[in-house]
Amino acid sequence: EAQVTQNPRYLITVTGKKLTVTCSQNMNHEYMSWYRQDPGLGLRQIYYSMNVEVTDKGDVPEGYKVSRKEKRNFPLILESPSPNQTSLYFCASSLSGPFHGYTFGSGTRLTVV
Amino acid sequence: TQLLEQSPQFLSIQEGENLTVYCNSSSVFSSLQWYRQEPGEGPVLLVTVVTGGEVKKLKRLTFQFGDARKDSSLHITAAQPGDTGLYLCAVTLNNLFFGTGTRLTVIP
């Protein structure tokens, strides 16, 4: 089944403890992206990647890192999480760019205390 | 000011009723997408509209792109409880930019 898989689905952590949210897609898509979703603010893009080793900042990149060493994987790294990063995170992929629409994962609900 | 304004923010209707939700902007776009997001899941792409004035149908859902490519509407005929969800419009800039959505509840 074609899908974007994120792990974990739920995560509670403490301020300052480094964490990684994994994302993998099995559709051989070139584009991958991370969004966060917050009440009243909607979906906002954190980082995106147009291909292996090619990444760029989205609208809210502060406090996040990403890497794209393989086409299928696009992990999101929070080096020192803070409570304002408590949010619902989505990974998404697209065959060749946002014009073709994104396939989203099921989300990771992160709470930083 | 939001690039994409979606209205209404919340809508609660009875099963069988018709409804229309809107996505408006002062900017012109080359294309616009509509997604539906159900509780606990990621958004799912419903349609992409490209041409000004374009109308696309997906079963009971009708999507229209404004003539000037600044706005779009989604009309649902005879709404069903399965239509419940958050409806999001999105446009392609450097990447995909989303509106804040219309949360629809269809009451059986």
DSSP state of A73: B
CA nearest to A105 within chain B: B42
Question: Residue B93: its pLDDT value, please?
Answer: 77
CA nearest to B39 within chain A: A106
Model confidence over B2-32: pLDDT tens digits? Answer: 789 999 999 999 999 999 999 999 899 989 9
Does any CB of chain A come closer than 8 Å to the CB of residue B5?
no
Determine, for residues B48 and A101 on separate chains, whether the beta-carbon distance falls below 8 Å: yes
Model confidence over B48-101: pLDDT tens digits? Answer: 999 899 999 999 999 999 999 999 999 999 999 999 999 999 998 778 899 999
pLDDT at A56 over 80: yes
From the number of C-beta atoms within 10 Å of its C-beta (0-12, 13-18, 19+), residue A34 rates as buried
**Set of chain B residues whose Cβ sits within 8 Å of the Cβ of A101:** 33, 45, 48
Looking at CA atoms only, how far is residue B97 from chain A in angstroms?
Answer: 7
Least CB–CB distance from B41: residue in A41, A48, A106: A106
Cβ burial B70-84 (10 Å sphere, 16+ → b, else e)? bbbbbebeebeeebb
CA nearest to B99 within chain A: A42
**Set of chain A residues whose Cβ sits within 8 Å of the Cβ of B48:** 99-101
- The answer, yes or no, to whether the previous bond of A39 is cis (omega within 30 of 0) is no
> Closest by alpha carbon to A83, among A51, A112, A54?
A112
Does any CB of chain A come closer than 8 Å to the CB of residue B43?
yes
Does any CB of chain A come closer than 8 Å to the CB of residue B97?
yes
